[in-house]
Amino acid sequence: MTLRSGPVRVIVLNYNGGEDTLRCFDRLMATDWPADELELICVDNGSVDGSVEALRTAFPQVQIRALGSNGGFPANNVALRDLDQVRYVALVNNDAFVEPGWLARWWRHSMPTRGSVPPVRSSCWHRPSPR
């Protein structure tokens, strides 16, 4: 599959994720997708468990954006700031282990085609009850 529409950026948030984060990136590295069209980024929330060093050693091609403190889930925004050449973004939890072909299926479903029905997207939020 050759894409010329800009790369896909996959962002994984880590905070003391250890083996989960390593396994997550191991599965992401096995993604059937052109390497020049795939950016893997780990946003680290100030981990102290050695997971950042282990990730650098195991996967030197992964971009690590290390933060000094735990910014929670919104820290993902750090990897959303420079999207000039990026067409698609996937946020993957560090304890999610993707299956082969996941990205191609995701990308294929995002392509508009005449007469097609787009995939259903779930949306859930908490609405405070009146006091």
Query: What is the model's pLDDT at position 127?
Result: 46
Query: What is the model's pLDDT at position 7?
Result: 85
Q: In this structure, what token pair is assigned to residue 25?
A: 């990136």
| Inter-residue contact 46 to 69 (CB < 8 Å) | yes
- How far CA 57 is from CA of 38, 49, 51, 52, 78, in Å, comes to 19, 14, 10, 9, 22
Q: What is the largest CA-CA distance in the chain?
A: 55
Query: What is the model's pLDDT at position 3?
Result: 46
| Inter-residue contact 97 to 31 (CB < 8 Å) | no
For the segment 36-74, what is each residue's pLDDT rounded down to a tens digit?
A: 899 999 999 999 999 999 999 999 999 999 998 888 888
Q: Residue 121 pLDDT > 70, yes or no?
A: no
Q: In this structure, what token pair is assigned to residue 128?
A: 């405070």
Query: Alpha-carbon distance 131 to 120, whole Å?
Result: 33
For the segment 85-108, what is each residue's pLDDT rounded down to a tens digit?
A: 888 899 999 999 999 889 888 887
DSSP 3-state assignment of 11? strand
| Inter-residue contact 62 to 25 (CB < 8 Å) | yes
Q: In this structure, what token pair is assigned to residue 121?
A: 């997207």
| CB-count exposure of residue 100 (10 Å: 0-12, 13-18, 19+) | exposed
The mean predicted confidence, pLDDT, of the chain is 83
Query: What is the model's pLDDT at position 113?
Result: 63
Query: What is the model's pLDDT at position 80?
Result: 85
pTM > 0.75: yes or no: yes
Query: What is the model's pLDDT at position 59?
Result: 97
The domains located in the chain, with CATH, are 8-106 (3.90.550.10)
Residue indicated by tokens 């939890």: 93
Give the percent of the chain with pLDDT over 70. 79
Query: What is the model's pLDDT at position 131?
Result: 52
